[in-house]
């Protein structure tokens, strides 16, 4: 991808976070084909899912997949579609700001115009990174964007609710304090997954210093309710990938137990898939 195209996509992606007509929905892809399906459906931008990418390679989430392997898939996704792509790079694949800088620089080189950076550690005894450490990671991401000359959107994620850290009554305040520190450090958007109560979501919108990203999925409020609450961005994480694997499990069970094929009846017809992939290739080359 040439620099000017990537810069334009970065500006377009940034603008989506400040639209007046409600939240934009950022579906999360795990490979080139899933990204093309989302783009064909008309979404303005696409995110990647670290959990989905890792699962598709047979390993769990949590930076078990190597940085180079993750970045290779991010590049395949960014190359597959003609719309902005934001990369889920977990905690940045680094224990130091310099390592996070290198990861974000590599994600930009792969074609991404946004990055997610989470403060979860994967350690059940110490589940959240110190605020100062994650602030330094956010600043490193901003420095990488400035160095590359690409206006990426840094999505600062706090896992206070996702991991159920601390007393339930303290979580809102704890999440707000962490997220606003990340906004001060340069996060353009703040991601608080694990929240589905609409009143808590409204409180986050009111108290956060940057646009709010929530995680959509079963049990979460619908998009129109999130729009009314003032949410800027809704992503779906690994949900579509896990739903796809659920369907695959149904197909496997039917083949094994019944010797029939009805679970596959809703699939994209072969000719339609071919046409969609050809159209995507033509759009990328235009």
pLDDT digits (tens, 9 = 90+) for 246-262: 999 999 999 999 999 99
Q: All domains of the chain, ordered by start, with CATH? A: 3-238 (3.20.20.60)
Contacts (Cβ under 8 Å, ≥6 apart) of 168: none
Q: Of all residues in the chain, what percent carry a pLDDT higher than 70?
A: 100
Residue 235: CA atoms inside 13 Å, Cβ hemisphere, count?
A: 28
- Residue spans of alpha helices (H) in 126-216: 131-148, 171-185, 198-207
Tokens of 272: 């339609």
- pLDDT value of position 286: 80
The CB density around residue 132, as the number of other CB atoms within 10 Å, is: 10
Maximum CA extent, the chain: 58
Q: What is the pTM (predicted TM-score) of this model?
A: 0.96
Is the pLDDT reported for residue 240 higher than 90? yes
Distance CA 141, CA 139 (A): 5
> Across residues 50-76, what is the average pLDDT?
97
Distance CA 236, CA 43 (A): 13
- pLDDT value of position 285: 84
Distance CA 4, CA 176 (A): 36
Is the pLDDT reported for residue 267 higher than 90? yes
Is the pLDDT reported for residue 174 higher than 90? yes
CA-based nearest residue to 22, from 234, 201, 209, 283: 234
Distance CA 91, CA 162 (A): 15
- Dihedral of CA 99/236/33/84: which sign? negative
Give the end-to-end CA distance of the chain in Å, rounded to a whole number.
12
- pLDDT value of position 45: 98
- pLDDT value of position 1: 85
Contacts (Cβ under 8 Å, ≥6 apart) of 226: 22, 23, 201, 214, 216, 234
């Amino acid at each position: 991808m040439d620099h000017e195209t990537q810069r334009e996509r970065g500006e377009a992606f940034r603008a989506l976070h400040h639209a007046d007509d409600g939240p934009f929905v950022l579906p999360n892809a795990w490979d080139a084909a899933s990204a093309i399906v989302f783009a064909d459906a008309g979404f303005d931008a696409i995110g990647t899912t670290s959990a989905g990418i890792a699962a598709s390679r047979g390993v769990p989430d949590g930076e078990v997949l190597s940085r180079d392997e993750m970045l290779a898939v991010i590049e395949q996704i960014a190359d597959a579609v003609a719309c902005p792509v934001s990369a889920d790079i977990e905690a940045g694949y680094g224990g130091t700001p310099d390592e996070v800088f290198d990861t974000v620089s590599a994600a930009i080189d792969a074609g991404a115009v946004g990055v997610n950076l989470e403060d979860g550690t994967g350690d059940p005894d110490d589940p959240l990174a110190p605020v100062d450490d994650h602030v330094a990671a956010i600043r490193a991401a901003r420095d990488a964007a400035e160095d590359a000359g690409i206006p990426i959107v840094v999505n600062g994620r706090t896992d206070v609710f996702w991991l159920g850290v601390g007393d339930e009554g303290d979580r809102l305040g704890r999440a707000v304090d962490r997220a606003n520190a990340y906004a001060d450090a340069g996060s353009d958007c703040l991601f608080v997954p694990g929240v589905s109560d609409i009143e808590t979501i409204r409180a986050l919108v009111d108290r956060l210093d940057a646009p709010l990203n929530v995680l959509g999925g079963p049990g979460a409020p619908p998009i129109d309710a999130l729009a009314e609450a003032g949410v800027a961005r809704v992503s779906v994480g690994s949900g579509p990938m896990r739903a796809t694997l659920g369907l695959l499990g149904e197909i496997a069970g039917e083949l094994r137990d019944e010797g029939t094929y009805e679970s596959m009846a809703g699939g994209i017809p072969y000719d339609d898939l071919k046409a969609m992939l050809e159209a995507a290739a033509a759009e990328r080359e235009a």
